[in-house]
Amino acid sequence: MSQSNSDLSLLGVFSLLSLLAIGGGTAVLPEMKQLTVEAHHWITDGQFRDIYALGQVAPGPNMLMVIVIGYHVAGTPGALIAFAGFFLPASTLALGASRLWNHFEGSPWRLALQNALAPIVVGLMAAGMIAIARTAITGTETTLLAIAVFALLYFGPKINPALLILAGGAVGYLTLS
Amino acid sequence: MSAPQPSLSPEAAPPAAPGAARVSISEIFLTFLVIGATSFGGGVVAYLRNALVISKGWLDEEQFMTALEISQALPGLNATNMSVIVGDRLRGPVGAIAGFLGMTLPGGLLVFALGVFYASNHGNPAMHSVLAGIGAASVGLLAAVTLQIGHKQLEHFTELALVVITVVMVSFLHISLLAVLLTVLPLALFIYRPRSDDRPKIPEEEAP
């Protein structure tokens, strides 16, 4: 694949994902994995898992991992293209649509849309979790680690998830080497 | 609609929006830069509320919730949508760009550095073990966040059915996300369509 071809496909893939990301980044994880691993063969299944993990270490928006995928495909320009492709279309839409949204103040369809989106968003988040689990859960250690983090966050005291993510990295270093 | 005023609902015209003084572009950038650099662990909404409502007073609770509703209904991430919407309300499109750049720069630069390190340490077993551990921990985090957000949806049959339909289509039938949205969203909109009996009175002549 020539350089300009891969740049264009990067831009196309991530712009599409940007506009499909209803309910946040987790919702597009299955589609992102399908397009980048299975359709375009840019990265392997294991690299997708690794790159997702890299993105979890950074602050700010959840899906900055697209920068690393772009870097893998086409170096530094690829990183910029993936970033712009994934964040600019949705952000531009947000700029226009938020102004429009206020015109529908009090419209019953606004509430209808919110009610309709809520269960779909939850379903898409669960599907995103399943997509990561399929590559990240590889044996007993990783299963126990995922269950422990879930239990601590869901049933335990209020705790910053970032600490558990880092602890997961430490546990991985000690038990998975 | 182009007047850059710090109000999230111009139609409702709240008498004195908090932080009515003109906010500078650099202050918008710096505020979102701090949020973008400190919001570890995914709970960005809490960080946003803390900075925009409590610390800066740029929005009141209701305006914050409205902005969040819009962010969630639109494609894109809450974090960046909020930075664009709030930046726009404060200082127009330039404010939106300032908010967006502040929000994404710290994490983006860190992820880029990590990505370069990852690419040059290909095959390093220690690094792969650390990332495998983080990946597994992330699954636990995603499960917890999904349940925290979704527990209300899982209690009612109709909503639970929509959740299950979505998961089966995406995860097990591997139907493309666009096709899923084009089929399930109209179905859900039909189910939750406004009924004539609960229609609030909306003035017909809403035009400005």
Whether residue B121 contacts residue B53, with contact meaning beta carbons closer than 8 Å, is answered with no
Encode pLDDT of B4-43 as tens digits: 444 444 443 343 444 456 899 999 999 999 999 988 866 7
Instruction: Give the one of B42, B115, B193 whose C-beta lies nearest to A79's C-beta.
Output: B115
Domains of chain A, by residue range, sit at 3-135, 137-177
ipTM reported for the complex, 2 dp: 0.90
Whether residue A62 contacts residue B77, with contact meaning beta carbons closer than 8 Å, is answered with yes
At B75 the three-state DSSP class reads strand
Retrieve residue A41's tokens. 């063969």
Q: Is B2 exposed, middle or buried (0-12, 13-18, 19+ CB in 10 A)?
A: exposed
CB atoms A165 and B134 under 8 Å: yes
* pLDDT value of residue A65: 95
User: What are residue A42's phi and psi, to 5 degrees?
Assistant: -75, -40
Encode pLDDT of B44-103 as tens digits: 888 898 899 999 999 998 888 888 888 888 899 989 999 999 999 999 999 999 999 999
Q: What is the pLDDT along chain A (177 residues), one digit of tens a residue?
A: 567 788 899 999 999 999 999 878 888 999 999 999 999 999 999 999 999 999 998 998 889 999 999 999 999 999 999 999 999 999 999 999 888 887 777 788 888 888 898 899 899 989 999 999 999 999 999 999 999 999 998 998 888 888 899 999 999 999 987
CB atoms B106 and A27 under 8 Å: no
Retrieve residue B187's tokens. 């179905």
CB atoms A112 and B149 under 8 Å: no
Encode pLDDT of B182-204 as tens digits: 999 999 999 999 887 555 555 44
Encode pLDDT of B128-170 as tens digits: 999 999 999 999 999 998 998 888 878 889 999 999 999 999 9
At A50 the three-state DSSP class reads helix
CB atoms B115 and A54 under 8 Å: yes
- Note the maximum CA span of chain A: 57
User: What are residue B77's phi and psi, to 5 degrees?
Assistant: -85, 145
Average pLDDT across chain B, whole number? 84
Q: What residues of B are in contact with residue A67 (Cβ under 8 Å)?
A: 108, 111-112, 115
Q: What residues of A are in contact with residue B152 (Cβ under 8 Å)?
A: 118
